[in-house]
Structure 1
Amino acid sequence: MTVELVGKVRSTLKSTDHPYMQGAWRPTFNEWNAIFANGDVEVIGTIPDDIDGVYVRTGEVPVHEPIGRYHPFDGDGFIHAISFKGGRASYRSRFVRTKGFEAEQEAGRALWAGLMEPPHKSTRPGWGAQEWLKDSSSTDVVVHAGQILSTFYQCGEGYRLDPFTLEQFGTDSWVPQDGISAHPKFDPATGELMFFNYSKHAPYMHYGVVGPDNKLKHYIPVPLAGPRLPHDMAFTKNYAIVNDMPLYWDPELLKRNLHVVQFHPDQKTRFGIIPRLGQPEDIRWFEAEPTYTLHWLNAWEEGDEVILDGYFQEEPQPKSHPDAPDGLERMMAYLSQGLMKPKLHRWRFNLKTGETTEERLDDRILEFGMMNQKYAGQKYRYAYSAVPEPYWFLFTGLVKHDLENGTSEEIAFGPGRYGSEAPFAPRIGATDEDDGYLVSFIADVENDRSECVLIDAKRFSEGPVCRIVLPERFCSGTHSVWANGNDIGMGPNTVLGA
């Protein structure tokens, strides 16, 4: 093992009893390089020699003492990446050098208030849909055109990094005025990136497509009745799917510049199905039962139908968190999967009749699903969902669904061990859909360390085949991506994932 401490970010954070600044969410400020090989004491099991690629996970870390109440989504983006090749692993961690991060480092203090504070507490104009927040680029990561694209869920500029070294290249020139939301979607069959954004001014949403050459090729308005809070999108071979869900800022309070989320159960959920390069008049809207969905799993076309899998929240406006400190009851409720009760769900949209049908796929509380990205936008068989800690934004295990047979398997990470989203890494020369590994980072609170774990998807219930102990325990996080080594750095005319 070779370890190098390459940087330590200056922090002004004070000690605190905030629930999302301790335990698995304890912040760290060190940036590392490390190389691991089989035989190292830090490698438990064997690093597989039949995968080649990189696992990238982002998260939020509070660097400066917050202005007012802290929400964990206010933290600066901190990316961890571990690449595998020939039975060796190389780990890197870096803060995303956003414009806001650099400004606060120069000032030596927080300049922007967060989600739980009124706009006037920010000392400078902000970014995104709320206009006064810092674009921390901390929510999501995707690999497109050979680079990581890091994004912020309230819409920001998007930041590019090298997937192996985490060298930083700043923002893209193609990003529109209203920015891009987290969860743009990469199509491995075409190399295209589909994205959306949202705002408080008409038309309230846009949809766009970026080519494999990283140039904007399509951008259209998606007119809505008012400001909405979409979080994710989906796509099929021929269509993009956006949504208009009845959980959004209260319109009357918004007139007073108060951003208070309300669920409107008397309104239907609406899905907009757009031909990939279609115009606003081509959008077809479908209605479904009222809910809110954070994340979609996959979508595909089958005959006259577009089929969409995701996580239907039974309580989009949950009760207050029973154990939260004073003033944090609502924040912690909206971070609790156990209170919002998301369930794996399927929607079917009939393009011929305009009808929507729905069905529940699992009654367990699950979210943050992943699948083999080679099957993105196509019919697939296997899904891998995260099992939440009931009242925390933490994940205690994984469920593997065989959607063809209607069966599932579940594993737990172990006491005091909390995982990250676990994408699928195909085995070199894979012969079928689940021939590969799931990759995740684990925050082991009891042993005060972080690990990277690899689970053979075909031997799922046996747990990790390899655990790599990383240089220090870092803050828990969520969204991640796996990118195959052969796909990274290919030219703009290359079709990926074939």
Structure 2
Amino acid sequence: MQITREAPVRISLEPSNHPYLSGPWTPCHEEVTVDELEVIEGEIPADIDGIYLRNTENPVHQPLGRHHPFDGDAMVHQVSIKDGKASYRNRFVRTHCFTEEQIVGRSLWGGLMDPPGTSTRPGFGAHGGLKDTGSTDIIVHAGTAYATFYQCGEAWMLDPETLENKGKAPWAPIDGVSAHPKVDEETGELMFFNYGVHAPYMHYGVVDRAGRLVHYVPIPLPGPRLPHDMAVTKNWSILNDMPLYWDADLLKRDIHAARLHDDPTRFALIPRHGQPEEIRWFQAEPTYVLHWTNAWEEGSEVVLEGYHQSNPMPDPLEEFGRYAHMMAYVDEHSFECRLHRWRFDLATGECREERLSDRIVEFGMINPAYAMQPSRYVWSTTAKPGWFLFNGYVRQDTQTGEEQVFELPDGVYASESPIIPRKGATSEDDAYLVTFLIDENAGTSELAILDASDVAKGPIARTRLPHKISSGVHATWVERDMLGG
């Protein structure tokens, strides 16, 4: 394993027993390139040809206040696979905030749980006082990778093959770009949204294949909201207004405290290039949803699938002491998320709902060849109770309810895991699942590939990474032939 190391970054972070600065969340601070990874089990399938990218919360400086797992600096980990071989590299995302903190050698901005006035410089995003880390999501559009921030940032560009930083997106509006833009590979369009504390509280936009902002309209809401994801079909974009949002009285004092309100869930369906007056609003049972898996059109209906939360404001996990609230708010078992389906009837204006599984799951992927069309399978992750750590996979059949389960050994944790269609695939699950694994028992990390049609049998190939990486958030896969834009 030939390793090339980049010049070290400035670090002021001290060793800590904080649950999200230690163990599988211990930050990785070195940037390296490995031309060929060592295969330690099985063989890398020869018909895989593309790039796996995963974004990571990876702080380099000592927090000014209380650390939240979503405060970390963005580090993108990449594996490029071709001809049965894999290479690896990782790089920090050089946002303006990362660069400024590198200059002074310390933190300049407070975190999600810190009181007003913690930051020493004006902040960014919907929250206002945070730094734009770009550490939440990672997608590829027209040959460029975009690292985005869930509180709305400037969308940071990287070359998906070299991870060279290319600055902020020139099309990003002043109100920013939330995590989870969606890409339609057929039209080459990217759809995004943002949100904030000033009316109209949300905007929706479309970027074309050439990287030009060609559509940008307000989505009027009753007040500040906390949407996290959006969904798209071939003709509609789906945004939401959910009852978990900031307390209005505390917000007047610049305190950002989320509360569950006595409101229904509302969905805004807007034509892809539509105007505010064309929005179709649908009402559903109160909930909160972090992530959608797919959406499509079916006759007069628009169908949406995602992870419904039964308990969006969970009680603190008292066994974690001073971290009790934080641990509950990132624990899937506390907020009880399950695969769910909503049907919006455009003819009647009615919304119907159904639970697809009783299993606690989140952070799922579909076969990307079935995006925006009826899909049968979702590959979800399971989580360690009490923790934001993935400990296995479930292939969920939304037609029959059948579930295939693969549980990782104790102390081994996974990443969000894209699905790679096989070349010449003959079915929706004729595909691979790709992921990073963190082995706390051995202090190592690896790339693993599973057969998407039979995840229960575990990895069919594993390769060793040069260092232990930190646990993280979102990931994507891009076929090599899509990198030309």
User: What TM-score do the two structures reach when normalised by structure 1?
Assistant: 0.96
Post-superposition offset of 1:323: 2.0
**Which residue in the other structure is 2:422 paired with?**
427
**Which residue in the other structure is 1:65 paired with?**
62
**Which amino acid in structure 2 is aligned with residue 402 of structure 1?**
D
**Which amino acid in structure 1 is aligned with residue 479 of structure 2?**
N
**Which residue in the other structure is 2:280 paired with?**
284
Contact 2:357 2:401 in 1 (8 A): no
Whole-angstrom distance in 2 between the partners of 1:293 and 1:459: 28
User: Residue 325 of structure 1 aligns to a residue in which SS?
Assistant: helix
**Which residue in the other structure is 2:248 paired with?**
251
Whole-angstrom distance in 2 between the partners of 1:333 and 1:458: 33
**Which residue in the other structure is 1:398 paired with?**
393
Aligned counterpart for 1:378 among listed residues 349, 373, 380 = 373
Can you list the C-alpha shifts for 1:234-266, whole angstroms capped at 9, x where unaligned?
A: 0111100000000000001111111110001x2
- Unpaired runs of 5+ residues, structure 1, are 491-498
Can you list the C-alpha shifts for 1:39-69, whole angstroms capped at 9, x where unaligned?
A: x4x4321111111001100011111110011
**Which residue in the other structure is 1:22 paired with?**
22
1:73-472 paired onto structure 2 within 5 Å: 73-264=70-261, 266-326=262-322, 328-472=323-467
**Which residue in the other structure is 1:495 paired with?**
none
Aligned residues: 485
Post-superposition offset of 1:364: 0.8
Post-superposition offset of 1:35: 2.4
User: Residue 349 of structure 2 aligns to a residue in which SS?
Assistant: coil
Contact 2:411 2:439 in 1 (8 A): yes
**Which amino acid in structure 1 is aligned with residue 113 of structure 2?**
M
**Which amino acid in structure 2 is aligned with residue 382 of structure 1?**
Y
Give aligned-pair identity as a percent: 54
Whole-angstrom distance in 2 between the partners of 1:397 and 1:35: 29
Whole-angstrom distance in 2 between the partners of 1:342 and 1:301: 24
Whole-angstrom distance in 2 between the partners of 1:117 and 1:382: 40
User: Residue 344 of structure 1 aligns to a residue in which SS?
Assistant: strand
Can you list the C-alpha shifts for 1:390-435, whole angstroms capped at 9, x where unaligned?
A: 1000000000012233211010121211001111011222232222
Task: Let me know the Cα RMSD of the aligned residues.
Answer: 1.0
Post-superposition offset of 1:342: 0.3
Contact 1:23 1:445 in 2 (8 A): yes
Whole-angstrom distance in 2 between the partners of 1:433 and 1:32: 36
Post-superposition offset of 1:16: 1.5
User: What TM-score do the two structures reach when normalised by structure 2?
Assistant: 0.98
Whole-angstrom distance in 2 between the partners of 1:356 and 1:383: 22
Whole-angstrom distance in 2 between the partners of 1:44 and 1:100: 40
Whole-angstrom distance in 2 between the partners of 1:267 and 1:289: 9
Runs of at least 4 residues of structure 1 off by over 3 A?
none
Post-superposition offset of 1:119: 2.6
- Unpaired runs of 5+ residues, structure 2, are none
User: Residue 120 of structure 1 aligns to a residue in which SS?
Assistant: coil
Whole-angstrom distance in 2 between the partners of 1:28 and 1:62: 9
Contact 2:28 2:470 in 1 (8 A): yes
**Which amino acid in structure 1 is aligned with residue 359 of structure 2?**
R
Whole-angstrom distance in 1 between the partners of 2:90 and 2:118: 31
Post-superposition offset of 1:187: 1.2
**Which residue in the other structure is 1:3 paired with?**
3
Contact 2:57 2:473 in 1 (8 A): no
Contact 1:188 1:373 in 2 (8 A): no
**Which amino acid in structure 2 is aligned with residue 352 of structure 1?**
A
Which one is further off, 330-339 or 222-231?
Answer: 330-339
Post-superposition offset of 1:32: 1.1
User: Residue 338 of structure 1 aligns to a residue in which SS?
Assistant: helix
Whole-angstrom distance in 1 between the partners of 2:369 and 2:116: 42
Whole-angstrom distance in 2 between the partners of 1:439 and 1:489: 22
Contact 2:404 2:454 in 1 (8 A): no
Whole-angstrom distance in 2 between the partners of 1:459 and 1:293: 28
Contact 1:52 1:485 in 2 (8 A): yes
Contact 1:7 1:32 in 2 (8 A): no
**Which amino acid in structure 1 is aligned with residue 7 of structure 2?**
G
